[in-house]
Structure 1
Amino acid sequence: MKNYCKFIFFLIPTLVFGTEFTFDLPDNDEECFHELITTTNITCVFEFQVVSGGQLDVDVIIEGPNQRHIYKELRKEYDTFKFNVTHPGEHVICFSNQFSTFTHKSIFMSFVAGDENPLFKGSEEHDTVMTFMEATSDEMHDTLSDIILGQTHYRLQEAHGRRFAEELNERVLWWSMSQTILIIAISLSQVLILRNFFSEPKPIRPREPRYGYLR
């Protein structure tokens, strides 16, 4: 069974498209996302990471307009892939969890197509010396972009650490409960055994003889 989530974007040479989100992938299922790119010679950056679920692995395939595989990885936890668009058309990104029969996955995906627009209009048309204000603004813009990217990765690491802590807490809880039940069972059995040692035995009544009659 396939679930298709379709995102269509028309890209022009001076436009950059970027999206990132986290979605749930059920067990024994597949999720596909469609990107319609109408221009060539642009760079696309694809990144994903399995946040939680099972062994933190998923199958990922990127197909071009001619149904050719641009990227294919099996049982992968995370990866970053950069490619150039040579044929315009619909690109399909599929995540498969069909090898898992009972564990669903939470997956983070990021896709960026095209180069980032310049901060100041007209700066790409001719070489000019930027003023102090423009240079400072451009530097602040680059710094804030790096901060946003770092925050995204820190959130992923936090989600991964939270998952590990919750699973460890659940295992410790069940282990503690099993140990408690075992201790109670051993204590009750010891009490019953000691009680049998100190209990008075019941007196044995002699059997009365049976006399027959002779004829």
Structure 2
Amino acid sequence: MARTCWLAFVAFLAVNVAPDLSSAASEDIEFTFLLPAGSKECFFQTLDKDNRLEFEYQVIGQPNQDVSFTMISPKGRREFEDRRKSAAIHTLESTDQGDYQLCFDNSFSKMKEKMLFFTLLISSPNNAAEDKGFVADVVTNETLEDKLQDFKDRLGVLHQKIQRGRVIQLMLRTFDTKDQHLQDNNLWRVTFWSCLSMVLVLTVAVSQVRILESLFPES
């Protein structure tokens, strides 16, 4: 009896849980682009029905830089709309089938271009009906079926946590890119002002030498 249950458990993992995790795997999309001053850029992403969408964006570079953002569904409905924000996180639990429009607006800024980073995490729904049908065919013991279902639920929770960890890692990479961009800008400023100060010091030194020489002319 124990051997039969163990074989059923292994068969369940091999045939049902592994394909389920692969079908429920999330599609990660990350993109960095430059949004010119006074312009608007839109991106389109095709989604299936009842997908779960996690969207996050951030302006990289100098502080106090912001953009406006709008997400429009295939039916023309405005899902999210942000006014002049530097970063935001949005979650859509159930999507419509079709192309979603993601628009970033920098038309209010006539002088500053913006470097933006955004990431999309798309999760497909699980096929619960097929899972239950397979469990009913392989396992006849009600207690074992409950244990297998509990094990599957735990794997699903673990999978979601792993995906969330990947999103956090992407955000940490974004912060690193932002810090690097700030360091590059500060390095250019420090170098420029240091060179300018050195030129001024040398100019003043030469001027003082010339003035002293003019006060003591050679006889």
Same fold, TM exceeding 0.5? yes
- Are 1:101 and 2:101 an aligned pair? no
Give 2:68's aligned amino acid. Answer: D
Q: Distance in 2 between matches of 1:160 and 1:57?
A: 14
- Give the aligned CA root-mean-square deviation in angstroms: 3.6
Deviation at 1:50, TM superposition (A): 1.3
Give 1:104's aligned amino acid. Answer: E
Could you tell me whether the CA contact under 8 Å between 2:69 and 2:104 is conserved in 1? yes
Deviation at 1:104, TM superposition (A): 2.8
Deviation at 1:28, TM superposition (A): 2.5
Could you tell me whether the CA contact under 8 Å between 1:45 and 1:113 is conserved in 2? yes
Q: Distance in 1 between matches of 2:68 and 2:157?
A: 39
Q: Deviations over 1:6-49 (max 9, x none)?
A: xxxxxxx9785542222222333221112344525x44222111
The structure with the greater share of residues assigned to helix is: 2
- Larger relative contact order, structure 1 or 2 (CA cutoff 8 Å, min sep 6): 2
| Paired position in structure 2 for 1:32 | 42
Change (3 A) 1:116 1:105: farther
Could you tell me whether the CA contact under 8 Å between 1:28 and 1:97 is conserved in 2? yes
Question: Helix, strand or coil for the counterpart of 2:131?
Answer: coil
Gap runs ≥5 in structure 2: 1-22, 136-144
Could you tell me whether the CA contact under 8 Å between 1:15 and 1:116 is conserved in 2? no
Between stretches 138-147 and 24-33, larger displacement belongs to: 138-147
Give 2:49's aligned amino acid. Answer: T
Question: Helix, strand or coil for the counterpart of 2:57?
Answer: strand
Give 1:171's aligned amino acid. Answer: R
Q: Distance in 2 between matches of 1:138 and 1:66?
A: 31
- Are 1:77 and 2:86 an aligned pair? yes
Deviation at 1:136, TM superposition (A): 8.6
Gap runs ≥5 in structure 1: 1-12, 202-215
TM-score normalised per structure 1: 0.68
User: Given the alignment, which residue of 190, 193, 196 partners 2:211?
Assistant: 193
Could you tell me whether the CA contact under 8 Å between 1:63 and 1:91 is conserved in 2? yes
Between stretches 169-178 and 95-104, larger displacement belongs to: 95-104
Could you tell me whether the CA contact under 8 Å between 1:54 and 1:103 is conserved in 2? no
**What is the count of residue pairs matched by the alignment?**
186
Q: Deviations over 1:151-194 (max 9, x none)?
A: 21221111111111111111111110111011011111111111
